[in-house]
Homo-oligomer: A and B are copies of this chain.
Amino acid sequence: MKNKPLEEYAELDLDREARCGFPEFIYGEGKTTEQLLGIMRRLHESGKTVLVTRVNPEAVPALLSAFPEAEHDALASTVRIIRPMPKKRGRVCVICAGTSDLPVAREAFLTVESCGYECDLIPDCGIAGLHRLISKLERLRSADVVIAAAGMEGALPSVTAGLLSCPVIAVPTRVGYGASLGGITALLAMLNSCASGVTVVNIDNGFGAACAAIRILSRLPEKE
């Protein structure tokens, strides 16, 4: 794949921000370092914030050396080059059930933040100790959208949505073993939430949950 022109492996969608409310970000998985560099260069030239998710750790040094202003987040597996932009109206709160759900939660957090919205991250408030969640109700109530990530039995979004009126986006994670089936159990549980109005994205898809939140926030009137 080396030295191939961009057109042989990708057709960028520079128009996406106008159409969908967020720019084309780069899904790093399965792309070679050369492909990543080629796509980052083109997006960067267009003047947009560049965000690479699921970046292969082995590609990071080359990306950081090509773009010295880029920041790498090892936990979330992202690399980004932020453009200054005015803060937008709307606030997201990302919560997760345990320490192991943090990578997914941080991917969501960084994506929301990269689009200019305020974001808050609360770790380790799983339902086996309800007091941990309940003590954060105030922070949760001040959010316009809550993103709740959990593995195992995936009950955090249900309990949360029963306590709040804002949109709750559930992100199942692959945390757990055996009958967690790589996140399928949490996914199914979230789809069957007894708290009405919970919506769900793919397993470990912190990025997708963030995009859904941005779609929601985009309907809020501009900050005056």
Contact = CB atoms under 8 A, between A and B. Distances in A.
Q: Assign chain A's interface to a size class.
A: 35 or more
A146 B145 CA distance: 17
A219 interface: yes
A192 B215 contact: no
B127 A158 contact: yes
A155 B189 contact: yes
A179 B161 contact: no
Contact of A10 (B124, B144, B178, B203): B124
Interface stretch (A42-50, A61-69, A78-86, A128-136): A128-136
CB-CB nearest 8 A-B residue pairs: A178-B203, A197-B211, A199-B199, A155-B155, A21-B165, A196-B211, A153-B189, A185-B188
Given A177-B202, A179-B203, 12 more contacts: A11-B125, A20-B196, A22-B197, A29-B177, A98-B194, A126-B194, A128-B158, A153-B154, A155-B194, A178-B202, A197-B212, A199-B199
27 contacts: A11-B123, A16-B129, A21-B165, A22-B196, A29-B100, A30-B99, A30-B100, A127-B159, A128-B162, A128-B194, A128-B195, A153-B154, A153-B192, A154-B189, A159-B159, A167-B215, A177-B203, A178-B192, A178-B202, A179-B184, A179-B187, A179-B192, A185-B189, A191-B201, A196-B208, A199-B200, A219-B220
